[in-house]
């Protein structure tokens, strides 16, 4: 552990009492100036540390996202071990795709993305300090192409469980990859895979999850202001990003590893269906080829959306190229 985090740990363990610079210096065999420099670095990271001249330092409750803060909260065996944190990155999915040598379960987390991506190369707004953006890298043993889209559904259930556990409110799911609350999108999921050209074997899966945490409606860019929301705007709760990453890692691990995905498909698909907010309603189906109105009836065992068109015919929609619009 670096000196900076050794000092942080001493402050965390002080039970609300001031810790003198002299005591820290002695315990860690460093100079008081070195202590002071590390305290300044911690403050720079966002820790609220009060300094009382000639008495010492006091750590106040702080909301900081870092690998240290996530690791402190982790209860997983594989997911997020290790966890890599970047204050700013282009895209956590891009990082995972270009660093597939990292271990199975590695999680890449950022507080800000300069080139966050959604499906079909759409932009995912990832402003600094307003949300949390992460990717889980997986090296599956043997996995069918069709199961990749079901991982998106599994992830949506893990996200919904996590937000409920931390805020007390259970959000909804919009097929296929969005988490909503009060008709506003809080979270988007993008699952990608790398396939070996020769054999067609799927080598890596990258599950990217972006969550809006703290925005008010005015904070969103004009093009998404009417459709986007955050955990704060919809529940009034400011949950910590580190709590969220640790809790989501645990929930994902449970559904994906502990329950032996895809053997548990039926049970998480039922949870997925229970969270869908538009079953039984008329929706607009938008594909590259056509746009039409249909009643959303069910989700089948492969995660396809079953719709009944106006002429009475039934279709099973595969997620890839299709978007849904739900009339308000
Ligand atoms: C998604 O695509 O929603 C998948 C987003 C995945 C983002 C994560 S963040 C970590 C990882 N690294 C990445 O680079 N990506 C992943 P899609 O269903 O195609 O939705 C994109 C659409 O959602 C956009 O066209 C906007 O209309 C809307 N949108 C963009 N940013 C948003 C935001 N922050 N909140 C709500 N809606 C947003």
Distance 112 CA to ligand 1 centre (A): 13
Average the pLDDT over each of 16-25, 44-53, 128-137, 314-323 and give the range with the smallest value: 314-323
Checking if the pLDDT of 75 tops 80, the result is yes
- How much of the chain, in percent, has pLDDT values that exceed 70? 99
- pLDDT of res. 146: 83
- How much of the chain, in percent, has pLDDT values that exceed 90? 87
- Give the residue, by CA position, lying nearest to ligand 1 atom 27: 224
Q: What is the CATH number of the domain that holds 81?
A: 3.30.930.10
- pLDDT of res. 320: 65
Q: What is the 3-state secondary structure (H, E, C) of the chain?
A: CCHHHHHHHHHHCCCCCCECHHHHHHHHCCCHHHHHHHHHHHHHHCCEEEEECCCEEEEECCCCCCHHHHHHHCCCCCCCCCEEEECCECCHHHHHHHCCCCCCCCEEEECCECCCECHHHCECCCCCCCEEEEEEEECCCCCCHHHHHHHHHHHHHHHHHHHHHHHCCCCEEECCCEEEECCEEEEEEEEEEEECCCCCCEEEEEEEEEEECCCCHHHCCHHHCCCECCHHHHHCCCCCHHHHHHHHHHHHHHHHHHCCCCCCHHHHHHHHHHHECCCCCEEEEECCCCEEEEEEEEECCCCCEEEEECCCCEEEECCCCCEEECCC
Same domain (yes/no): 138, 270: yes
Q: How confident is the model at residue 321 (pLDDT cuts 50, 70, 90)?
A: low
- pLDDT of res. 323: 82
Average the pLDDT over each of 102-111, 149-158, 226-235, 318-327 and give the range with the smallest value: 318-327
Same domain (yes/no): 24, 93: no
Same domain (yes/no): 123, 250: yes
Distance 117 CA to ligand 1 centre (A): 6
Distance 125 CA to ligand 1 centre (A): 6
- Give the residue, by CA position, lying nearest to ligand 1 atom 34: 125
Checking if the pLDDT of 327 tops 80, the result is no
Pocket flag, ligand 1, residue 112 (CB < 6 Å): no
| Atom of ligand 1 minimally distant from the CA of 110 | 10
Q: Mean pLDDT over residues 38-53, rounded?
A: 96
Checking if the pLDDT of 135 tops 80, the result is yes
Checking if the pLDDT of 289 tops 80, the result is yes
End-to-end CA distance of the chain: 52
Same domain (yes/no): 216, 292: no
The range of the structural domain enclosing residue 26 comes to: 3-59
Q: Mean pLDDT over residues 48-54, rounded?
A: 94
Pocket flag, ligand 1, residue 119 (CB < 6 Å): yes
Pocket flag, ligand 1, residue 185 (CB < 6 Å): yes
Pocket flag, ligand 1, residue 105 (CB < 6 Å): no
Q: How confident is the model at residue 205 (pLDDT cuts 50, 70, 90)?
A: very high
Q: What is the mean pLDDT of the chain?
A: 95
Same domain (yes/no): 188, 315: no
- Give the residue, by CA position, lying nearest to ligand 1 atom 20: 118
Same domain (yes/no): 263, 184: yes
* Between 326 and 159, residue with greater pLDDT: 159
Pocket flag, ligand 1, residue 118 (CB < 6 Å): yes
Residue 201 CB-density burial (10 A; 0-12 exposed, 13-18 middle, 19+ buried): exposed
Task: Name the packing angle between helices 3-12 and 32-45 (round to 10°).
Answer: 80
- pLDDT of res. 240: 96
Q: What is the CATH number of the domain that holds 296?
A: 2.30.30.100
Same domain (yes/no): 35, 88: no
* Between 146 and 167, residue with greater pLDDT: 167
- Give the residue, by CA position, lying nearest to ligand 1 atom 19: 119
Same domain (yes/no): 107, 9: no
Pocket flag, ligand 1, residue 137 (CB < 6 Å): no
Q: Mean pLDDT over residues 56-84, rounded?
A: 97
- pLDDT of res. 109: 98
Same domain (yes/no): 30, 100: no
Q: Mean pLDDT over residues 93-102, rounded?
A: 98
pLDDT, tens digit (0-9, with 9 covering 90-100), for 220-267: 999 999 999 999 999 999 999 999 999 999 999 999 999 999 999 999
Q: What is the CATH number of the domain that holds 54?
A: 1.10.10.10
Number of domains, the chain: 3
Same domain (yes/no): 248, 169: yes
- Give the residue, by CA position, lying nearest to ligand 1 atom 23: 124
Same domain (yes/no): 164, 303: no
Pocket flag, ligand 1, residue 228 (CB < 6 Å): yes
Distance 199 CA to ligand 1 centre (A): 31
């Amino acid at each position: 552990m670096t000196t900076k985090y050794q000092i942080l740990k001493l402050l965390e363990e002080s039970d609300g009492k001031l810790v003198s610079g002299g005591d820290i210096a002695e315990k860690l065999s460093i100079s008081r100036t070195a202590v002071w420099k590390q305290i300044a670095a911690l403050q720079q990271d966002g820790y609220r540390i009060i300094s009382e001249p000639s008495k010492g330092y006091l750590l106040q409750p702080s909301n900081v996202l870092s690998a240290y803060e996530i690791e402190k909260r982790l209860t997983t065996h594989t997911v997020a071990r290790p966890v890599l944190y970047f204050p700013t990155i282009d895209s956590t999915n891009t990082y995972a795709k270009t660093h597939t040598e990292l271990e199975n379960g590695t999680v890449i987390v950022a507080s800000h993305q300069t080139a966050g991506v959604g499906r079909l190369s759409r932009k995912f707004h990832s402003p600094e300090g307003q949300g949390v953006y992460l990717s889980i890298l997986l090296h599956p043993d043997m996995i069918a192409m069709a199961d990749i889209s079901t991982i998106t559904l599994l992830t949506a259930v893990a996200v919904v469980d996590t937000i409920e556990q931390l805020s007390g409110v259970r959000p909804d799911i919009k097929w296929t990859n969005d988490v909503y609350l009060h008709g506003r999108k809080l979270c988007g999921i993008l699952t990608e895979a790398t396939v070996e050209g020769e054999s067609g074997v799927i080598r890596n899966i990258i599950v990217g999850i972006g969550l809006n945490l703290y925005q008010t409606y005015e904070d969103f860019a004009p093009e998404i202001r009417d459709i986007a929301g955050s955990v704060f705007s919809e529940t009034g709760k400011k949950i910590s990003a580190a709590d969220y990453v640790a809790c989501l890692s645990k929930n994902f691990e449970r559904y994906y590893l502990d329950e032996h995905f895809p053997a548990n498909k039926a049970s998480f698909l039922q949870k997925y269906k229970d969270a869908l907010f538009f079953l039984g309603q008329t929706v607009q189906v938008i594909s590259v080829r056509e746009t039409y109105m249909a009643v959303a009836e069910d989700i089948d065992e492969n995660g396809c959306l079953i719709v009944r068109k106006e002429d009475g015919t039934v279709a099973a929609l595969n997620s890839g190229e299709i978007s849904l619009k739900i009339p308000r």
